[in-house]
Structure 1
Amino acid sequence: MPMSPAASIPLQILLPALAGLGLAVGSFLNVVIHRLPLMLEQQWLTALHEAEPTEAALPARRLTLFWPPSQCPHCAQPVRPWQNIPLLSYLLLRGRCGHCRAPISARYPMVELACGLGFGLLAALVPQSPGTLALASVLTAALLALAVIDLEQRLLPDVIVLPLLWLGLLANLHGRFVSLPEAVLGAVAGYGVLWMVSRLYRLLRDRDGMGEGDLKLLAALGAWFGWQMLAPMLLLASLGALVTLAVLWPTGRAARFEHVPFGTFLGAAGWICLLMQLIGR
């Protein structure tokens, strides 16, 4: 029976277990993707109100990732436990709310499936320690959340990106993926390269062409994989963006990418580089 040296657990057990965990994590990521931008907006409005008090009403209820419990965005009815089973509930409900029958976004099962498949693939590929598998899983979940949030909201929240940067540096204290000097140079160069590109674009076009979140995300990926992987990641992300726009152009849907969610493509490129690192070890 094949064994995974990661924890001396049979691969036949480890792989479905990690895939199942990925489905559950994907379900939570859907909550993060939906609520985190709203939470940040609430915080911004509260800070603005405190700085310049107005008669405008603040949100009556403070939103968190855990409260209120999951509910339908259309009818506000609570989601029952059996309606919240990753992937399976969507299929049983045929993609509609169990109360008002309003359609449920296909994003929910897609994120759950992507996270489940991603975790399962990591279990099959990682031949190292449980620590490497855990770090790779955290990075996978974070990049997936960032990619979807940027696609939907054109936002890369610092509350995810910055901890990812520090975790990348900590992971490489003892050379988990690359040496610490390479990781530090990767973080500095990752931010610096896109900073120069964004400033040059502003000089030429007199408007911003890239958000600060993109700069910080590339810095975080540089901290994980070192400065040598910055060029391949940028190339993959740029090609991904260009191919996507080329495919959508004849349909007329390319117009929705007036501001290209480059973080989405950076996240995908970062995950591909993670797989390349793990396969090459």
Structure 2
Amino acid sequence: MPKLDLKAAEYVADRMPMIGVGTYQVQSQSVLTDTIDEAFRLGYRFIDTAQIYRNEAILGRILPDLLEKHSLKREDIFITSKVSPINQGKGKTSKSVLKSLTDLQTPYIDLVLIHWPGTSRLKSNHKDNAKFRAETYVELETLMDEGKIRSIGVSNYEIKHLETLLAECRILPAINQCECHPHFRNSELAEYCKEKGIHFQAYSSLGGPSYVENLLKDKIIKKIANAHSTSPAVILLAWGLNQGYSILPRTEKVGRIEENWKAKDIKLSEKEMKEIGSIDKLSKSCWDPTVVV
């Protein structure tokens, strides 16, 4: 295997904060304005979006005023977006990223990920999934060479997908963004990423939308939260941070923005980490990439 270019990974290591504002399912301009306004006030400098979230244009409209309000410049914040599964493949990827740049009203995007290892309108077991995601990554490498994006990576990639990518790419993917929480620890994948120099980023740290209450009511999580005089949600976020994972808490409630921010100050003991690691549950609450060839 040829030596891979580390410039994407180095950019992320140098520039990306460990806590970002997740914007999944948030398409209200007023809600986005209020939550990002509060986030900037508290010290957040990282926004995670995606083409499929359909809010890039909204972010592009509101960010200039919010940056000015908080005396920030574009280079003070880190923006991640993701190539939609429908935009995978030669030619389509570049066109979609250029549209993201226009919608976000920015000269560059800090990080662009392949959102999903499969391609829309193809069955999960179709061999062309691998072909289209390979073509997508090549186009992202070119866009990075051109300075339109500063780093590249993937999302929802399993070990099998990463092994194929690492055998073909020339720029090491900076990040693999995946579901991860105490009921779905994804430890083998996280360890593989660590071995390969790929940063592991957790989404749905509280579980998917229909699963959140299961984690918030977990007896071990509640016990540890009480010991730290905080909420179960903060402990769930801190669990990821304590392992070196970056996190992307998403909320439409302004008050939760500050609560989530407190996770960075929670240091869990070795005993507490072992207790959380002993939770005997395996509940994936989001889509399953293992079925994609």
Query: What's the TM-score bracket when you normalise by the shorter of the two chains?
Result: under 0.3
Higher relative contact order (CA 8 A, sep 6+): 2
TM-score by length of 1: 0.27
TM-score by length of 2: 0.26
Instruction: Decide which structure has the larger Cα Rg and report it.
Output: 1
Greater helix share, 1 or 2? 1
Q: Compare the two structures and name the one with the higher strand fraction.
A: 2
